[in-house]
Each structure stands twice: as structure tokens, then as C-alpha cells.
Amino acid sequence: MPIRLLILSAVTLLWPIFLHASDIVGPIAVWQDDPCTTASILWIEPHGAEHPAAAAVEVKPEGGVGMPVATAANRLEKSKHAVHRAKLSGLKPGTVHTVEVRQGGKNAVAIRFRTASDIFSPNLRFVTGGDMYHKREWLDAMNARAGAEDPVFALLGGDLAYANNSNPKRWLEWV
């Protein structure tokens, strides 16, 4: 499934924790199903479309044991980039999870996110937007402002990166 369709479903505002530099862009977490118990982790491997590097993903709930997760990869639009994804399920609601992505046999990056609570709160906060990447400085300012609201998730739609199926580098910058 193209990255655009996954991101359009619903995206959470996450602040990835990079363990050290690598040859991947991301990861980000997106939701297509129940945000209490599922998530999809996406990352881009620049110039990896022809021969994507083997990826290993492990998800670990806070205070729990890590479990391996299967991955898949597809070409990003008309580019040489590979979009990797790992679909997570059976997650515990309202829990911080750490996902480690190892690509090419080394720890590449990790991301932490919290699943949505399965108990409704009248104080639930989220942000929404779209058509968002005109200029990098505007995007950065918008993300900082949205993050300051401490949302549970972000719902994003429209032409997110303005890649127009002809400029895949914009997706690398947007992610």
C-alpha cells in the first residue's frame, strides 16, 4: 500500500528517538485500525527499491518483553526509494511501546509511542491539518505548535508533501 494512503488514514504526532545515524528516514507510526491495540511503523530506505535491505523489527511494551514483527517493503512512487512497514497488533491500550528497527544487521533507529487508551476521556486532545509542506520552515513551525498541544494523535489529509508523484525527495524531507 502506498505511503500516502497509510498516512492519510490517521497519523499520530510522534517525536522519533534516533539511536544513531543510519541510512533510513523515519520511522513514523500510523494507524489504520484500532489505535488502542494496533499501529503500523513506516520508514523509507533511500535508493533501496531494487534490493531493499533486510529489516528486523521488535516491539516492546513498557516493562514488557520484546516481540519480533514481520516487515514488508514497496517502492515509493516513481523513485528508487523503498518504503518499509511493520504492522503491529495485540498492543496494550494506553501503553508506551518502543519499536526498534534493525536494517542491514544493525540497530538503526527506535521510536517510542503510546497507544490510545480504551477508556474515553473528555479531555482527549488531537490536532488536524493537511496540505502542509509548502516550505520547510512553515512545516517545522506547524509541527512545533501542534506538538505543544500534547495531542493523542494528529489527523492529516490532503497533499501532505506536495510530491505530486514526481518529486519523491519531498517525502524524504516530510518524514
**Burial readout 139-158 (b: 16 or more C-beta within 10 A, e: otherwise):** beeebeebeeeebbbbbbee
What pLDDT score does 112 carry? 93
Q: Tens digits of per-residue pLDDT, 72-114?
A: 999 987 889 999 999 999 999 999 999 999 887 776 788 999 9
What pLDDT score does 107 carry? 65
Mean pLDDT of the chain: 82
* Mean pLDDT to the nearest integer, 112-131: 89
What pLDDT score does 2 carry? 41
Higher pLDDT, 171 or 87: 87
Q: Tens digits of per-residue pLDDT, 9-52?
A: 333 333 333 333 347 888 999 988 999 999 999 999 988 888 88
* Mean pLDDT to the nearest integer, 145-164: 86
| Sheet with 67-69: strands ordered across | 67-69, 55-61, 96-103, 106-114
Q: Please write down the HEC assignment for all residues of 108-120.
A: EEEEEEECCCCCC
What pLDDT score does 139 carry? 87
What pLDDT score does 21 carry? 37
**Percent of the chain at pLDDT above 70?**
86
Higher pLDDT, 19 or 131: 131
6 pLDDT tier (thresholds 50, 70, 90): very low
Report the predicted TM-score, pTM, of the whole model to 2 decimal places: 0.77
